[in-house]
Chain A
């Protein structure tokens, strides 16, 4: 009886461990490429500090172009079949509209203006880790038509291209463009997913790529060149911690000044020493704790999705 109870507990412990040892699944959102938006007249100009900047108007595109909806639905359906349901662009855009309505009410009370771009807003709301960008062009030659199709996967935080596939179909007569598009998606998606799988394999082997920024509050008495926290400058101590806590010491210091440090291509492990899945925020929290326990430095940790984190030293 006693041994049975022990075996049940052991099995329960193993199952719980297995559940928690799953890495966090990256989320995917399908959007049209800027090039497609430009060619189809869905770019909108926004005045930003006196300068006119073009942004893709996804809301207008989803309302006015049924091919786009068909492409997004088809790609979404095929990705779901592979166990990767995608984030819905239209639903995210509706959330932004609701958020904007709330912001408008708030700003009218405070008088402050929002400085976020539409893309920043979409990124913030959708929180997609990989953007699947699609582009296509229907080429017509007399009564014949063919489709030139491209699909590209971009890591939302590092902006690295992680997968791509493109190709041109054969000229066909009497076939609707929507059918040609469907064929193009079917022809390209397996290749794309093959590369995406390689990207995930690389992630499991060499860790997740994130970017990490360190700043200091203006009113803090110290900076990153202060030597009062040990026998080295604070910035060097932080770099040492980075080396100890990245997979195979892989990270690149892009910029380091007295008030900020920026690390790119930081390879963080997918699991912590307890076997639990971690993301950039949990990993960055390790540095926050280290600075607090070793040097009594308070800091504020801010994250964006799974892959970008910022630590501001000086106070919470």
Chain B
């Protein structure tokens, strides 16, 4: 059986169209999974050093099958962690910090606000920046699991503008300020 040149060409064109679509789909799924991980607290957060005034300098460990998604998710996780989780201190003299809210159900109670806040390209971006342009140290890149279940655990250093973040949430009536009620 002789396959025509035209047939080869069609296969090639289709491959070029389908592969990026498939890749895009996988990326979207990975992002969705990462968002789900954030909501279910599947990330780790630790203080690195005392940041400049009004900021926390922290390292966030995020999980994903894709490096790029893990790095991008680190920003969301960092802001999420500062609002809802806080972090432990370290032996290097970094003080532990409490979360901006003590209310454990706040995320569920203000679901609409936080869905919009943590959406891709959402307002959370205003309060976080990657340090070292998001470069990952060799020791901060770990591979977990095997074969299809393999994923990356990536530690990224980020700076969170916690004073601005707190002020924004207070002004939006999401958390109580120190002078609320007075």
Instruction: List residues of A whose CB falls within 8 A of some B CB.
Output: 22-26, 81-84, 146, 165, 167-170, 183, 186-188, 190-191, 193-194, 196-198, 200-201, 204
Contacts and interface: CB of A to CB of B under 8 A. Distances in A.
B95 A82 contact: no
Interface stretch (B18-26, B64-72, B96-104): B96-104
A188 B95 contact: yes
A177 B179 CA distance: 32
B94 interface: yes
A167 B89 contact: yes
Interface string B146-182: 0000000000000000110000000000001111011
A152 to B, nearest CB: 15
Given A167-B89, A167-B95, A186-B53, A198 B102 contact: yes
Nearest to B56: A190
Question: Chain B's interface: helix, strand, loop or mixed, by majority?
Answer: loop
Interface of B: 50, 53, 89, 92-98, 102, 162-163, 176-179, 181-182
Going nearest first, the 4 A-B pairs with the smallest beta carbon separation are A170-B93, A83-B179, A25-B182, A187-B95
Contacts of A200: 178, 181-182
A25 B179 contact: yes
A204 B181 contact: yes
Contacts of A196: 178
Contacts of B94: 187
Contacts, number: 52
Contacts of A146: 93
B179 A82 contact: yes
B93 A169 contact: yes
Contact of B96 (A83, A168, A183, A191): A191
A194 B86 CA distance: 12
Contacts of B89: 167
Given A83-B178, A84-B178, 15 more contacts: A22-B182, A24-B182, A25-B179, A26-B182, A83-B179, A84-B179, A167-B89, A169-B50, A187-B95, A190-B97, A190-B98, A191-B96, A197-B176, A200-B178, A200-B182
A193 B92 CA distance: 23
A200 B92 CA distance: 32
Given A83-B177, A183-B50, A170 B92 contact: yes
A44 B163 CA distance: 40
A165 B95 CA distance: 10
A198 B95 CA distance: 19
